[in-house]
Amino acid sequence: MSRFLQFYFSLNDSGSVAEQQMTEAVRLVLSADPDDDPVEAGGPVDEARVEEIMSVAHSAAQDGHPLPLEERSDVSVDLGPGATVSAFSDSLPPECPQCHELLSDWDPQEWWDGGDEPEEQCPSCGFTALVGDWLIQSTPYARTECGLVLVDWPSLEEYGPELHDALLSTVGSRPRYVSGHV
């Protein structure tokens, strides 16, 4: 059975700042009902569930490995340098934000191995920037130290655009969104 994952994450933030941002993102999500159309924040928040989600995130961070999919609830958080993001079966290479050329020969191995976000240059127009500043909504791989993961929620981009925008504003200084099926 295919599962739909959405990742809201920051490419710059870590530590206590990231923890505060993720806690607020969890509160936003828990104040929404995924069965509503549109999905909107603003309902009551179960603070015990917020604490539980963040506690699980801390335990996984101490282990140095993000939670496996089968151990995730519908809302989870990744903290720490081992967190990764992927669009899985919906993956496409990064797309140039200027000319929209796909970086078809992009190899995420450098990012995977070293943890440092690589700088890339578009072979068509010459645009050069860190790969996270490219269009990466369908990236096969990104690395972060803080992220919110939604499992089997409706696409907030489509069914909850205000919540989608609020989450991007909450998760950090270089917020990104990736989604895909696994």
The tens digit of pLDDT for each residue in 27-55 reads 999 999 999 999 999 999 999 999 999 99
In the predicted model, what is the mean pLDDT of residues 5-33? 95
Tell whether 159 is covered by a domain: yes
- Average pLDDT of the chain to the nearest whole number: 92
Average pLDDT for 102-116: 83
**pLDDT score of 90:** 83
Does the reported pTM lie above 0.85?
Answer: yes
Q: So what's the pLDDT on residue 19? A: 95
Residue 128 lies in a domain: no
Asked if the structure places residue 142 within a domain, the reply is: yes
Q: Domain for residue 105, yes or no? A: no
Res 147 pLDDT > 90: yes
Q: Is the pLDDT of residue 57 over 90?
A: yes
b (16+ CB within 10 A) / e for 155-165: ebeebbeebbe
> What residues make up the domain containing 17?
4-91+138-181
User: Which amino acid is located at 173 in the chain?
Assistant: S
Question: What's the number of domains the chain is made of?
Answer: 1
Q: b/e map of 68-90 (b: 16 or more CB within 10 Å)? A: eeeebeebbbbbbebbbbbbbeb
Confidence of residue 106 (pLDDT cuts 50, 70, 90): confident
The answer as to whether 126 is a domain residue is no
For residue 112, tell me if it sits in a domain.
Answer: no
pLDDT at 45: 98
Q: What is the pLDDT of residues 85-101, one digit of tens each?
A: 888 888 889 999 999 99
pLDDT of 109 higher than 90 = no
Whether 121 has a pLDDT exceeding 90, the answer reads yes
Instruction: Determine, yes or no, domain membership for 101.
Output: no
Report CA 165 to chain centroid distance, whole Å: 13
Domain presence at residue 129: no
